[in-house]
Amino acid sequence: MGQTARAAYEELLTRYAESCDLSGASALLSWDQETLMPPRGAEARAKQLATLAGIQHERWSAPQVGELLQECESDSGEFNDEEAAATREMRREYDMSTRLPASLVQEFAAATSAALQVWREAREASDFTRFVPSLQKLIDLSKRKAEAYGYEEAPLDALLDLYERGATTSAIRTLFGELKGKLQALTARVLDKGDAVSPALLQSDFDEDRQGELGVDVIRQMGFNFDAGRVDLSTHPFCTTPGAGDTRLTRRFLKEDLRPGLFGVIHEAGHGLYEQGMPEKWVRHPLGTATSLGVHESQSRLWENIVARSLPFWEYFLPALQKYFPAQYRDATPEAVYQAVNHVEASFIRVEADELTYNLHVILRFEIESEIFSGQLDVADIPARWNRGMKDFLGITPPDDAQGCLQDIHWAMGGFGYFPTYTLGNLYSAQLFQCAQQALPDLDHEFRQGKFDSLREWLRTEVHQKGRMLEPVALIKSATKAEPTPEPFLRYVEEKMDEVYGLSTS
């Protein structure tokens, strides 16, 4: 690599590191807003976040950054893989920053801000028609965004790519298509079993401090490092990393149900392990972050569902459950807890859905999104389309729009193309875990001993330590030696349902 390209690359890394400092500061401000900030601080905080975002955008979209990138790209022959990947990521972020005209960014921000308000009212009144004009406006603006970003086949591709690099409507349609029929069939068989499995064992009166301690015990055992992280309360659980060595999880509790608090914090700790597993050499570096939302979700779902809803996990953790809640679990068996945590139900709300039916909610969202963006579906017809889909997939009809197509905030935030990452995460999680099992045949035995380090280290090596070196599909291929496929997930969920619901014995 020539001297000029080398110098340009180094200068870009310096600027990028500063940009990371600004994102880190924003992340802390946002975290604090959701956890600790006193109510009257909201207005000033919103302005601070806007100022930081504006400055970060201004600096990273500066013409000099574009010139430095060209300098690198024009003489990149001797770039090693890491340097090439870092340049690719910086180019991507620069293009993202510069392709949208400022006027569109502002129009979009104003439209989402208004739409969020309207969506809250419409959901409150369970009246989708009230939301139609705002939603239509956001879809129109999103199509303009797609044009500005550019795409090869479908406008939705440009939006999918924002959350899952390289994802296309057609690839996801293929993947989800394979999944859909089989999930529907399996769901029907499970629901046929009716009340064979009950969640009652997890529904009682659970002291929240004790729930908190149990959760910390579990995620500590998983390997979440509290010297480099913490856990706090918030209304909506999330995971954020305001800086290297500082990964924060949040959680909430339901007094009457153990599941949201416990599986919620395990889910976030799965995200947290990914963040804590980034290579130290890539701190404040273009490659030092997660490669996509789908891969991020694969880590959280792997721990939440595949690990923490397994029998070996409960063979180890039942005593902890008994320690914190002796009255409820004195006479429980690991098998009983295992059954209860895997209870399946046709339900209206995605975020409360079980492992099996969850993906059907997501597939339906994606189908609707692609029909809208291809012009096959009118916005006004979404409720009917949603209800038809729910009937078709789960055999239930939402009693109203609030429990139907109005339930999720994503569209009101303009987040078209986001939903598929949830199911991609589920598919990746099973595909990764299948490989981990092949590499580490003693996993079940280890889980029974409360040992999660070989799994965690395998994930660290195969996923976390790659940072953004590989794009999502390339990462899955590198870790599993196969293209992303729904097969492992289908096999996994079918086996579990068989075990829990005794399908094969019916």
Catalytic residues: 268
Q: Does 18 bind a copy of itself (CB under 8 A)?
A: yes
Structure tokens at 72: 């690198």
Which residue stretch of 22-30, 69-77, 162-170, 181-189 sits at the interface with a copy of itself (rule: CB under 8 A)? Answer: 22-30
Which residue stretch of 41-49, 136-144, 169-177, 460-468 sits at the interface with a copy of itself (rule: CB under 8 A)? Answer: 41-49
Length of the chain: 506
3-state secondary structure of 79: coil
Residue of 29, 148, 196, 233 that binds a copy of itself (CB under 8 A): 29
Residue of 1, 17, 62, 96 that binds a copy of itself (CB under 8 A): 17
Strands (E), 101-173: none
Q: Does 101 bind a copy of itself (CB under 8 A)?
A: no
Which residue stretch of 39-47, 151-159, 331-339, 461-469 sits at the interface with a copy of itself (rule: CB under 8 A)? Answer: 39-47
If 0-12 CB within 10 Å is exposed, 13-18 middle and 19+ buried, where does residue 136 land? middle
Q: Does 39 bind a copy of itself (CB under 8 A)?
A: yes
> What angle is formed at CA 439 by the lines to CA 263 and CA 464, rounded to 5 degrees?
55
Which residue stretch of 20-28, 115-123, 345-353, 366-374 sits at the interface with a copy of itself (rule: CB under 8 A)? Answer: 20-28
- CB atoms near residue 478 (< 10 Å): 13
Q: Which helix (H) or strand (E) holds 455?
A: helix 453-462
CA–CA distance, 458 with 473 (Å, rounded to integer) = 18
Please say which residue, 23 or 403, places its beta carbon nearer to a copy of itself.
23
Q: Does 216 bind a copy of itself (CB under 8 A)?
A: no
Chain residues 278-297 in contact with a copy of itself, contact rule CB under 8 A = 283-284
CA–CA distance, 127 with 132 (Å, rounded to integer) = 10
- Asked if 261 and 253 count as a contact pair (C-beta separation under 8 A), the reply is yes
Please say which residue, 277 or 294, places its beta carbon nearer to a copy of itself.
277
Q: Does 227 bind a copy of itself (CB under 8 A)?
A: yes
Q: Does 36 bind a copy of itself (CB under 8 A)?
A: yes
* Structure-token match 């809250």, residue found: 120
Q: Does 220 bind a copy of itself (CB under 8 A)?
A: no
Q: Does 104 bind a copy of itself (CB under 8 A)?
A: no
3-state secondary structure of 241: strand
Strand partners, 247: 229
Instruction: List contacts with a copy of itself (CB under 8 A).
Output: 17-18, 21-22, 24-25, 28-29, 32, 36-45, 47-48, 50-52, 55, 225-230, 242-246, 283-284
